[in-house]
Amino acid sequence: MDFQVVLLAGGASKKLAPLVSQEVPKALLPVANRPVISYALELLEQSNLKDLIVVVEGEDTALSVGGWISSAYADRLHVEVAAVPEDVGTAGALRAIAHHLTAGDILVVSGDLVCDVSPGAVAAAHRRHDAVVTALLCSAPVSGASESGSMSGKDKAKKPVRYNIIGLDPLKQFLLYIASGAEVDKDLKMQKNIIRAVGQMEIRSDLMDAHLYAFKRSALQEVLDQKEKFQSLQQDVVPYLVRSQLASEVLNNGTPPTDEHGSVNGKILLSQLLANSSTPDFHEMYTPVNGSLLTRKTHKCCAYIAGKDKYCARLNSIQAYSDINRDVIGEANHLSGYSFSSHNNIIHLSAELGSKTTVGPHCMLGEGSQMGDKCSVKRSVIGRHCRIGSNVKIVNSVVMNHVTIADGCSIQGSVICSNAQIQERATLKDCQVGAGYVITAGAEYRSESLSKK
């Protein structure tokens, strides 16, 4: 398709502490016991996009992420790993590698994206409309887990989260307005010229900007060069392109131009504009403003809206980490890459279960892990080579590799990082335990983040 692909894989995200660290960068955080970046890599591979630049923060991260990709995808993908300084943001990361970008169109994908929407379909829509940017929009994911133990149906505790306010044309092809992040909770201002140009706009708050964009390279480069303070693609670059797509200029010093029919009547032109407002050529129309005829053929910003049956989430918070792990072994298990048993779970052949131990549906038990007697695991992922004692309950949790959990522990809604130790009869609810941390016997923690200083 002649698209150059850039995968933005980040570094040691502060929002995900204590799950991430210099030793375990965000890209290598396990989701269903495989690094989160593997989901984006395989999504691209399925669209035959196999030549890509992976951008990470810091040289150490580049070594660890590059090493993992080389071993896992040696004969499948051609990957160049580029290190950029920390905290430059997504726009800053692209600015730093701009000299590598040579194709006419650039496909930018977040390395924390877990979804089943074809990037090739987004790229094709981008080309079809000759857009400067095409953004993938998905249904906003629901967040939170059920207390009931049932994964069927809509859990009452799950809540949809509002991520963006998005304005679309009547045919839902053009992106006319976008506000994200902190802006969503403010009073929103819209430019009259955009509403005037399209006649009507559909405002949506149930869609999420998935951080998968197709850009026309020349337009992207111009914005990155001219707007040196822009740090974020999502909050700076894309909204800027959307705002400026109908910016206007006076033609012929205010002398009305003629259209192909020779008409110079502003009202006729406006009626033509509104009649065509839902067609792809509405950007090409004239529009009268304050008595002068203005036109601007700057660019088109498009939206590709995924179907409601598609899964799409970003691992950009601790809650999202828990949700995605739950989903990938649950309702979105087609993304996991694993074969599920007749009990709808995954128990590695080398794992060992004690007497009267139950591993429920939508659970995963990794290679070489051992569980004692009378344990119960529900809607949880347990990593490789874990040692779990007897009478242990694990619900709605993620336990990473080489974790030791002693007898009588109860773990609910928590994330336990690699090499952590949970001693006898400890109780954890809604906690995050950092790598190598030791929870002492009998301790009780609720909603705590525990890590080595």
Indicate if the pLDDT at residue 258 is higher than 90.
Answer: no
In terms of pLDDT, which residue wins out, 440 or 271?
A: 440
The per-residue pLDDT for 262 is 34
Check whether residue 297 and residue 351 sit in a common domain.
no
At 158, the pLDDT band (50, 70, 90 cuts) reads low
169 and 83 in a single domain? The answer is yes
Count of the separate structural domains present in the chain: 2
User: Is residue 438 in a domain?
Assistant: yes
pLDDT at 185 over 70: no
Confidence of residue 103 (pLDDT cuts 50, 70, 90): very high
CATH code of 182's domain: 3.90.550.10
Q: Within a domain: residue 99?
A: yes
Residue with tokens 């994964």: 151
CATH number at residue 438: 2.160.10.10
Cα–Cα distance measured from residue 361 to residue 150, given in angstroms and rounded to the nearest whole number:
9
Find the domain containing 352 and state its range. Answer: 341-450
pLDDT score for 81: 96
Whether 13 and 117 map to the same domain: the answer is yes
- Confirm whether 406 is domain-assigned: yes
Say yes or no to pLDDT of 216 above 60: yes
Please report the sign of the dihedral spanned by the C-alpha atoms of residue 39, residue 41, residue 43, residue 45: negative
Which of 388 and 164 is assigned the larger pLDDT? 388
The answer to whether the Cα torsion of 298, 99, 28, 445 is positive or negative is negative
169/60 same-domain check: yes
**Stronger pLDDT, 226 or 287, i.e. the higher one:** 226
Q: Are residues 430 and 305 in the same domain?
A: no
Asked if the model's pLDDT at residue 241 lies above 80, the reply is: yes
Listed range (40-49, 283-292, 294-303, 374-383) with the worst mean pLDDT? 283-292
Same domain flag for 278 and 414: no
Average pLDDT in the 287-292 region?
50
Most confident of 5-14, 18-27, 268-277, 349-358: 349-358
333 within a domain of the structure (yes/no): no
| pLDDT (average), residues 58-76 | 94
Is residue 151, in this structure, part of any structural domain at all? no
- 121 and 234 fall within a common domain: yes
Residue with tokens 């495989």: 34
274 and 371 together in one domain: no
- My answer on whether 138 and 186 are in the same domain is yes
Res 109: pLDDT = 98
| Among 417, 414, 418, CA closest to 402 | 418
Are 308 and 420 in a shared domain? Answer: no
Percent of the chain with pLDDT over 90: 70
**pLDDT computed for residue 276 by the predictor:** 42
Q: Name the average pLDDT for the chain.
A: 85
Domain match, 309 and 355 both: no
Q: Is the pLDDT of residue 279 over 70?
A: no
- E strand map for 199-354: 202-204, 207-216, 249-250, 287-289, 292-295, 301-305, 312-314, 346-347, 352-353
Question: Which one is predicted more confidently, 249 or 11?
Answer: 11
Residues 305 and 357 in one domain: no
Residue 365, in any domain of the structure: yes
pTM given for the model: 0.86
Q: How confident is the model at residue 52 (pLDDT cuts 50, 70, 90)?
A: very high
The region, left, alpha or beta by phi > 0 then psi within -120 to 50, assigned to residue 87 is left
Per the model's pLDDT, the better-predicted residue between 247 and 101 turns out to be 101
Cα separation, 147 vs 380, in Å, equals 13
Q: Whole-angstrom Cα distance, residue 49 to residue 64?
A: 23
239 in any annotated domain: yes
- Whether the bond between 18 and the residue before it is cis, its omega within 30 degrees of 0, is yes
pLDDT at 198 over 90: no
pLDDT for 184 equals 63
The verdict on residue 326 lying in a domain is no
